[in-house]
């Protein structure tokens, strides 16, 4: 291999000429060169255009490999410190092992609804460790970063939460916002090119797959902007090693669980592998085989089902009632009203947030126990009803309401805000 100057451009002409038959690894390697500033603007534009025109930007293996390249180029978080946080700050319950969780969407659905995933992630941090990956708006009126920076009277310093500062932030809160430009500095080389293109590129799909702490994400809810992407993202997550996940798309082609009607869901679920012939005791497995090609004890399956608001014990609300087109300041004011428990119990925005929070609680596994000891304000009355997909959606709503009414969600956000200001001085 020829050693190249870090700023010297290289040619990917052969790849572009044979693009339709190129391997996923070859495409991902070319994507990785973007983050090193090794591709000139013409080649970068051609690469993104070919991905779009050939449809290869929607192949699960291509997405998985490109996401891996993007994560490897990201600012690296101290893995040992993050794993220690799971042990010291994670709150095990049911099948939830205390790991990090995320609630994210592709964007691009055109609805510009209230910032549901960001708000739901704050509520979820009352019981789960949350690493919310996000950015400013590119297609809606208010992105996740825009919302957080508009909080009053004191907004978090989202740019101060760097890879190095992240462990200290989690010492004060179970919530942290991972601002994409801070964790993916190599994206600055492609940003001007993306703005000049007249279509959504593969990077619009890679965003939800490139959390800087991806290797420590235990569970996630991932919204897609059209249902054709549902099975693609589910398979991409499976190929990337995810074991717990829920990909969702509202029937209005909404990248959230819809408060207005049905939502299609693709669940990643780990089950025993019928082809496994090893020992019955999982602890004995490592001592009985060193065959890397042996069948694994468990495999991840993808199950599809449909959800409706009634599965959460909630009413339907038209999307026109959940704030289309509002600016960050307006949405931030609503966020704080919600966290202070100032909205009525059947408020459309509140119920929209509750069902999306409930989904993350359910998929993480905290809704499984028949007992409940969340803390102050928890009446302990578990709702054991099993809904579509074999999960307790109504119990998820009960827990999400507790997060609001007990003040735990607000306390989590306040802890994150204080930690972000402390991080600035480090």
8 Å CB contact between 319 and 114? no
DSSP 215: G
pLDDT tier at 282, thresholds 50, 70, 90? low
- pLDDT in the model for residue 109: 86
8 Å CB contact between 412 and 174? yes
- pLDDT in the model for residue 273: 92
Instruction: List C-alpha distances in Å: 17 to 13, 20, 49, 50, 76.
Output: 6, 8, 13, 10, 34
Mean pLDDT for the stretch of residues 11-31: 97
- pLDDT in the model for residue 323: 81
- pLDDT in the model for residue 7: 61
- Residue identified by tokens 């909404």 is 254
8 Å CB contact between 295 and 376? no
pLDDT tier at 288, thresholds 50, 70, 90? very low
- In sequence order, the 6+-apart residues with CB closer than 8 A to the CB of 425 are none
User: What backbone torsions phi and psi does residue 26 show, to the nearest 5 degrees?
Assistant: -65, -40
Tokens of 46: 């051609």
Q: Which residue has the higher pLDDT, 141 or 87?
A: 87
Mean pLDDT for the stretch of residues 368-391: 97
DSSP 160: G
List, for residues 330-359, the tens digit of each pLDDT value: 999 999 999 999 999 999 999 999 999 999
List, for residues 127-153, the tens digit of each pLDDT value: 999 999 999 987 677 899 999 999 999
Give the predicted TM-score (pTM) of the model: 0.94
Mean pLDDT for the stretch of residues 93-113: 95
Q: Where are the alpha helices (DSSP H) in 90-228?
A: 116-124, 144-149, 166-170, 180-183, 191-196, 202-206
Distance between CA atoms of residues 346 and 207, nearest Å: 33
Mean pLDDT for the stretch of residues 46-53: 98
CA-wise closest residue to 237 among 257, 216, 220: 220
- pLDDT in the model for residue 424: 82
> Over 70: is that where the pLDDT of 285 sits?
no
- pLDDT in the model for residue 291: 60
């Amino acid at each position: 291999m020829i050693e190249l100057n870090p700023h010297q451009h290289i040619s990917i002409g052969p790849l572009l000429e044979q693009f339709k038959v190129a391997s996923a690894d070859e495409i991902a390697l070319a994507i990785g060169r973007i983050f090193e500033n090794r591709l000139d603007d013409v080649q970068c534009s051609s690469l993104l255009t070919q991905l779009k025109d050939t449809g290869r930007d929607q192949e699960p293996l291509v997405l998985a490999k490109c996401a891996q390249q993007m994560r490897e180029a990201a600012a690296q978080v101290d893995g040992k410190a993050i794993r220690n946080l799971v042990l010291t700050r994670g709150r095990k319950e049911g099948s939830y092992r205390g790991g990090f969780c995320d609630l994210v969407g592709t964007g691009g659905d055109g609805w510009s609804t209230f910032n549901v995933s960001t708000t739901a992630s704050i509520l979820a941090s009352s019981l789960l460790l949350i690493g919310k990956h996000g950015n400013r708006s590119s297609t809606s009126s208010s992105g996740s970063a825009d919302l957080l920076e508009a909080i009053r009277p004191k907004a978090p310093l989202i740019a101060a939460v760097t890879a190095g500062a992240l462990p200290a932030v989690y010492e004060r809160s179970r919530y942290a916002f991972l601002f994409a430009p801070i964790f993916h500095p190599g994206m600055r080389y492609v940003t001007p090119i993306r703005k000049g293109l007249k279509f959504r590129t593969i990077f619009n799909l890679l965003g939800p797959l490139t959390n800087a702490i991806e290797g420590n994400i235990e569970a996630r809810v991932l919204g897609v902007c059209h249902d054709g992407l549902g099975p693609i993202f589910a398979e991409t997550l499976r190929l990337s090693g995810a074991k717990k996940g829920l990909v969702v798309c509202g029937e209005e082609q909404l990248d959230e669980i819809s408060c207005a009607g049905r939502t299609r869901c693709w669940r990643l679920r780990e089950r025993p592998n019928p082809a496994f012939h090893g020992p019955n005791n999982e602890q004995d497995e490592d001592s009985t085989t060193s065959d890397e090609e042996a069948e694994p004890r468990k495999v991840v399956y993808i199950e599809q089902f449909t959800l409706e608001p009634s599965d959460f014990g909630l009413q339907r609300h038209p999307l026109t009632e959940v704030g289309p087109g509002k600016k960050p300041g307006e949405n931030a004011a609503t966020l704080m009203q919600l966290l202070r428990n100032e909205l009525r119990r059947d408020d459309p925005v509140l119920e929209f947030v509750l069902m999306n929070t409930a989904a993350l609680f359910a998929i993480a596994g905290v809704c499984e126990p028949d007992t409940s000891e969340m803390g102050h304000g928890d009446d302990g009355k578990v709702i054991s009803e099993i809904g579509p997909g074999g999960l307790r959606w109504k119990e998820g709503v009960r827990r999400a309401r507790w997060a609001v009414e007990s003040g735990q969600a607000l306390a989590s956000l306040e802890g994150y805000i204080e930690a972000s200001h402390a991080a600035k001085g480090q």
